[in-house]
A and B are shown apart, each in its own frame.
Chain A
Amino acid sequence: MQKKITQRGSGVTRRDFIATTSAAGVAATAFLGGKAPAFASNHKLHYLQWSSFIPDADAEIRRQVEEFSKAAGVEVTVEMINQNDMTPRITAAIESGEGADVMLLINNQPHLFANGLVDHGALMSELAGGDIYDWANGAVTVDGVARAVPLFNIGNAIVYRKDVFDELGLSAPNTWDEYLEVGRALKNNNLPVGQTLGHTFGDAPSFAYPLLWSFGGMEVDASGKVVVNSAETHQALAFAKEFWEAACDPGGLAWDDTSNNRAFLGQTIGATLNGASIYFVARRKFPDLADKLAHVNNPEGPGGRYHVIGPRSPAIMKYSEEQDAAADFIRFMFQDDNFSQFITVNSGYVQGLTPKWENHPVWDSDPALKIFSTNAKYGRSYGHAGPWNRASGEVAEKYIVVDMFARAVQGEDPKEIAAWGQKEMENVYGA
């Protein structure tokens, strides 16, 4: 598998792609179909994952499940539920020792549920190898042991109204200072930047953390000591206040993850940080609007350019009595032909976790989404510059960083806010 990954490097053509995926298909047939099923017919596997808003993505998973079932002689049940409901399901399953054999974990859940997950070290080496992005590796590696195998990522980017930008003579912002000026012009034309700073798990931290990091701020140092109260953090907070007043819709403080989707599609904002879902819904329901949209990565600051992104990682449960079949199922999903098809049906909504997928043909299918191909390489995890562990997860769950920025935009002194954030984080990490 690792060899296959190396072969499909950059500069792949459509012909190469078809040839390679066909070869992978043949290899898959050899692996699963060319020999007797590895399992007796009474083996059953239960796979639990989120349900995507792209119907074809769920259909593709069902197709893979069906093919794997036939090839491996294992009866596989796939269950798809709302992402927000995954956590109680995982918790109940691990605590009771009964439930799905494989679950698609998100972000740093492998850290949170490490005790209930098998060691995926061998699978990780076989499937992800050394090419995988560091942040994705960190999301599943707990005390040096891989507790899941990162499969894909759902990125985020600033979606903006290209037509309005053209009309106002604006360019897509590359730096935070440029975004400030762009936002100012948008707000003066009654199409402000729409950004939530509420307690909502997606868009608020996806804005606050990268802003902190791009000014050089960080939550902890490499040793795990909380260092958020720094000059860089003060600068980031001061910038946030200026940006908010000049560029943003003030209602954003009360928004949840759906609000900016609704506002953008309702054409009351001109730019917002989001996944590609706004574009996809527009393409489906408001095609005229979709033609006017474009995406750009988060702006760069003195400390760099970052995106909060977390992998979706299939994980085998310790209690599962079908761990071998579960591992084969994960191998099947990772096969180049299957994963390539998964990326294709997602039309750019998901990204692979090794650089080679940046060259997948899907990125040439729609210019509006091409920027997402580069999204993953700017990924950084909560708890920088430490690991994405339980403590950094708790800081995120308590919205400490988000609240720091929410307080800043409401006029509180950046130094006082940073001191508060330092204290709150020390309570979590231990001083």
Chain B
Amino acid sequence: MNAMVGETYVRRLVIFYIPLFMFVFVMLFPFAWMLITSIKPDAELYNPRISPFIVREPTLEHWESLFGTTLFIRWAINTLWVAIASTAVSLFAGVLAGYALSRLVFRGSTLFGIMIFVTYLVPPTLLFIPLTGVVTWMGLQDTTWSLIFTYPTFLVPFCTWLLMGYFQTIPKELEECARIDGATRLQAMSRIVIPLAVPGILSAGIFAFTLSWNEFLYALVFIHSPENKTIPVGVTSELIKGDVFFWGALMAGALFGSVPVAVVYSFFVEHYVSGMTGAVKG
């Protein structure tokens, strides 16, 4: 950061570097904690008399335990597949619904928009019971398809609501010009509005991906076989046994489980920020 005219070093330190350091510390601390715990031998993990931040004799035994004795790689593949598929389905539906609700005038459109938002507010802890019946009826029990089918119940309302707002920030005039030039509604949407809405779509996609990646309850209820589980359920079912927590392996699982989400965020962070702050700037 270059100093502005009249700005002192102290002033920069106070208003920029110290808050930045605090923010980075808070953001990175969980990752550091997971890493430290995952490479500590049990003797150090259970010893409260030594500093929790220092690893004296680092070990990979917890990593070996995670990758060697559990199906973590399989769970990671399942989680990735479910997150990508359910995000794609939800984004497709969300883009169409969001566009329709923000652009097309039809009777009850406002009410419909509100209803979609209210649907998003229904907690999964209430929905999982009726959804179990639906999943069973469709013969999807114990398959990853059960999750790809049910995750959109909370992802589609979320994506729709977010994209509705985003589409409304794109000037209608741009689309109207295209229509005057002979484009159909579909062409105007796909060639004018959607390209402009990419930051918003990416934001919705990142959120949807994260929500799918971390989802626990549906994955717990609908999946039975160890080889079909996702990371959140697999890790807790294999590494928590009664009142015995395998802390090292758990933290290794949490660390490796959170890396893909962090990678996705870092790839799209610029689009994500612009998606959060509005669309076409005047």
* A and B: bona fide binding partners: yes
Q: Mark B195-229, 1 if CB is under 8 A from A, else 0.
A: 00000000000000000000001001100111000
- Report yes or no: A285 in contact with B245, Cβ–Cβ below 8 A: no
Q: Which B residues lie within 8 Å of A202 (CB)?
A: 243
Interface string of B221-249 (1 = CB under 8 A from A): 10011100000010011101111110000
In Å, the complex CA distance between A98 and B133 comes to 8
B133 touches A277 (CB 8 A): no
- Would you call A75 an interface residue if the criterion is a C-beta within 8 Å of the partner chain's C-beta atoms? no
Contact of A51 among B130, B136, B238 (CB under 8 A): B238
Instruction: Determine chain A's interface SS by DSSP, over half rule.
Output: mixed
Residues of chain B contacted by A285 (CB below 8 angstroms): 42-43, 46
Q: Would A82 and B244 count as touching, CB distance under 8 A?
A: no
> At the interface, yes or no: B129 with Cβ under 8 Å from chain A?
yes
Our count of residue pairs bridging A and B at CB distance below 8 angstroms stands at 90
Q: Which residue of B lies closest to A85 (CB)?
A: B220
Q: Is the beta-carbon distance between B217 and A82 smaller than 8 angstroms?
A: no
Near B by CB (< 8 A), chain A positions 267-294 give 268, 274-275, 277, 280-281, 285-286
Q: Determine how close the nearest CB of chain B comes to the CB of A295; give it in whole angstroms.
A: 16
Interface residues in A289-303 (C-beta closer than 8 Å to B): none
B130 contact set on A, CB distance < 8 A: 96
Is B237 a contact partner of A81 (Cβ separation < 8 A)?
A: yes
Of all chain B residues, the one with the shortest Cβ separation from A93 is B132
Verify A96–B136 contact, CB threshold 8 A.
yes
- 0 or 1 for each of A23-34: is its CB under 8 Å from B? (1 = yes): 000000000000
**Residue from B48, B220, B225 in contact with A266 in the complex, judged by beta carbons closer than 8 Å:** B48
User: In angstroms, how far is the closest chain A Cβ from the Cβ of B237?
Assistant: 5
Q: A79 near B221 (CB under 8 angstroms)?
A: no
Per-position binary interface string of chain A over residues 62-84, scored 1 when its CB falls under 8 Å from any chain B CB and 0 otherwise:
00000000000000010111111
By a CB distance below 8 angstroms, the chain B residues around A48 are: 224
Q: Which of A262, A263, A274, A280 has the most CB of B within 10 A?
A: A262
Q: Are B243's CB and A79's CB within 8 A?
A: no
Decide if A419 is an interface residue (CB 8 Å cutoff). no
Q: Is B81 located at the chain interface by the 8 A CB criterion?
A: no
Known: A266-B48, A285-B42. A275 touches B243 (CB 8 A): yes
Q: How far is the CB of A252 from chain B (nearest CB, A)?
A: 15
A83-100: contact bitstring with B at CB < 8 Å (1 yes, 0 no)?
A: 111001101110111111
Q: Does B67 contact A (CB under 8 A)?
A: no
| A98 in contact with B48 (CB, 8 Å) | no
Contacting residues, chain B, for A257 (C-beta < 8 A): 243
Answer yes or no: A265 CB below 8 A from chain B CBs. Answer: yes
Complex-state Cα separation, A92 to B226, whole angstroms: 19
17 interchain pairs, CB-CB under 8 A: A51-B238, A53-B242, A83-B242, A85-B220, A93-B132, A96-B129, A96-B135, A96-B136, A98-B132, A98-B141, A258-B244, A262-B48, A263-B48, A265-B46, A266-B46, A266-B47, A281-B244
Taking Cβ atoms with an 8 Å cutoff, the residues of A that contact B are: 46, 48, 50-53, 77, 79-85, 88-89, 91-93, 95-100, 154, 202-203, 257-258, 261-263, 265-266, 268, 274-275, 277, 280-281, 285-286
Can you list the 9 inter-chain pairs with the closest CB atoms, starting with the nearest? A53-B241, A98-B136, A96-B132, A96-B133, A53-B244, A92-B132, A257-B243, A265-B46, A266-B48
| A92-B128, A96-B136 known, 18 other contacts, Cβ within 8 Å | A46-B224, A51-B238, A77-B224, A79-B224, A80-B237, A81-B237, A89-B220, A98-B136, A98-B141, A99-B132, A202-B243, A258-B243, A261-B243, A266-B49, A285-B43, A286-B42, A286-B43, A286-B46
